[in-house]
Structure 1
C-alpha cells in the first residue's frame, strides 16, 4: 500500500516533464501531493506552467501563480537544468552565463520567492544537484561549477532558514537511465559494449533509475526527514566512492 506522506500538500517540481523530474512528480503525486510541474513545454500528465528559467523574471511569477492558484506551497523541487559539453577555452561568456543562470540562479530565485510560502507551511526544498558538483567529468566546467554552487546554496538555505521550520537538502545523482542517457547509449558505435563499460564502473554493477532518485527526493521532502537538512546525498551506485584500478 502506497504511503500518503504528502496528503493535502502542494508541490512544485521544475523540469518535471521527463527523466528524473517526471519520476519525482509521479512519486509525490502517488503519495498524495497536488503536483505542478514547470518547464519550457506543456506537460500532458500534470498540471503545468510553461517556464523559461533563463529569464530571471520567471521564478517569482511561477511561485506566485502556484501559491495563488493552490493557496499554499509545501514542497519545492529544483530539478530543471542544462548541460553543455565544452572545454573552458571553447566556452563563451554567454554560454557560461546561461549555464549558471539556469542551473544555479533560477533555483536561487525560486527559493527566494518560495520562502514566504514555505515559512507558512514549514515546508521543504530539495535541489537536484549532481555527482559533478562533487567531482568532474571532462569538458563540463560550466555544469560542474553550477552544480557545486547549488550544493553550496543548499547548505546556506538550511543554515539561514532552519529556525523557521524550513528544510533544504539536495540529491546528487550519478549515471541515471533517463531518456537522454539511453539515447546516448543507443547512438554510440557499440551500445552493448557501452552498457557493459558503464555498468562496470559502478560497484553495484548497474546504472540507476529515475525512480530511485525520486524515492530519496520524496523521503527528504517528507516530514519524517524532519531532522535532516543541509545535506547532499549522492545517488550513484558507489561510482564516486570506488577508486580506479592502477
Structure 2
C-alpha cells in the first residue's frame, strides 16, 4: 500500500520502544510521512540517534523524546502527560515495546514471567488506558505490535507466547469497546524479523545466526523479515487507508502463521 508523503501531516503519533528494531524503523517511516512524533524507550542515546534520522528525513521537525521504563507506572504516566504537554493532543498510539526470554513450563521462573507480562501486556494496558481519552477526542487509533507467537504455539518461549496471545485478545476487545467512539484498534503480528530482540532474550550470536537460517524453512517466503516491512504495515493500519479496519491482527510474517509446525 503506497501512502502519500503527507499522510500523517498534522498527526501526533506516540511510538513506544522506539530506540531500536521495529520501533525505530516505524518512527523513521512515519517521519517520512509527515508525522509529529513522540518517541519513548529506555536507551536515551539510541532514541537520540533515531530522532536525528527522523529529523533528517523530514526537514526541521525533530521528534519529541521522553525516556522511560514501561514497567514503571510513573514512567508510563509521564510519557503520556509529557506528550500531551508537548503537542496538545494525541492521534495515534503505537504500542511496540516488548521483550522476550527463553523458557518452558519446567524452567521459566516467576521472575521471567513477570518481566515479560509487565512489559508486553501490563504496560500496554496502562498506556492504552491513559491514551484513550485523548484518542477519543481526535478519533484516533491504536496499533499494537504482537507476534506470530500470539497466533501459534511454539516450544521454549511459553511466557512470551502467552503475552502476545493476550495482546491479540486485548486488540479485539478494545476494538469493540472503542468502535462506537470511532477509535480503531489493530495489531501487526510479525514472524522472525531481523532485530536484536532474540539476542537480548538470550540467544548467542551463533544461535541467532542458526535461528535466522532456519527461517528459510519455517517461513513460506523462505526468509526472515526486515523491520521496515513491519513499519509499513503499521503505517497502513494507522492511516486513513485503513479507515474501515478495526479488531484485525495482521500477519506480517512471510507466511509463518500458515506453515505446518516445524
Shared fold by TM > 0.5?
yes
Give deviations 1:33-92, integer Å, cap 9, x for gaps.
011111111111323211111112322221111011111101100000111111223222
Aligned length: 244
Matching residue of 1:240: 257
Cα separation, 2, equivalents of 1:9 and 1:72: 9
Shift of 1:111: 0.6
SS in 2 for 1:7: coil
Query: TM-score with structure 1 length normalisation?
Result: 0.92
1:29 aligns with 2:47: no
Cα separation, 1, equivalents of 2:189 and 2:208: 28
Give deviations 1:119-151, integer Å, cap 9, x for gaps.
111101000000001112221111111110011
Cα separation, 1, equivalents of 2:113 and 2:257: 26
Cα separation, 2, equivalents of 1:205 and 1:93: 35
From the superposition, tell whether residues 58 and 175 of structure 1 become closer, same or farther in structure 2 (CA, over 3 Å).
same
- Give matches, 1:103-118, under 5 Å: 103-118=120-135
From the superposition, tell whether residues 80 and 202 of structure 1 become closer, same or farther in structure 2 (CA, over 3 Å).
same
Q: CA-atom RMSD, angstroms?
A: 2.2
Select 2:160's aligned residue among 127, 137, 143: 143
Unaligned runs of 5+ in 2: 52-63
Report the more deviating stretch, 105-114 or 42-51.
42-51
Cα separation, 1, equivalents of 2:185 and 2:81: 20
Cα separation, 2, equivalents of 1:4 and 1:10: 13
Select 1:38's aligned residue among 37, 40, 47: 40
Matching residue of 1:170: 187
From the superposition, tell whether residues 95 and 4 of structure 1 become closer, same or farther in structure 2 (CA, over 3 Å).
same
Contact 2:223 2:254 in 1 (8 A): yes
Matching residue of 1:188: 206
Shift of 1:96: 1.4
From the superposition, tell whether residues 121 and 84 of structure 1 become closer, same or farther in structure 2 (CA, over 3 Å).
same
From the superposition, tell whether residues 141 and 70 of structure 1 become closer, same or farther in structure 2 (CA, over 3 Å).
same
Contact 2:219 2:255 in 1 (8 A): yes
1:224 aligns with 2:241: yes
Query: TM-score with structure 2 length normalisation?
Result: 0.86
Structure that is richer in helix per residue: 2
Shift of 1:180: 4.5
Report the more deviating stretch, 158-167 or 197-206.
197-206
Cα separation, 2, equivalents of 1:87 and 1:196: 23
Unaligned runs of 5+ in 1: none
Contact 1:96 1:142 in 2 (8 A): yes
Matching residue of 1:95: 112
Select 2:220's aligned residue among 179, 203, 207: 203
Cα separation, 1, equivalents of 2:212 and 2:112: 31
Shift of 1:95: 2.3
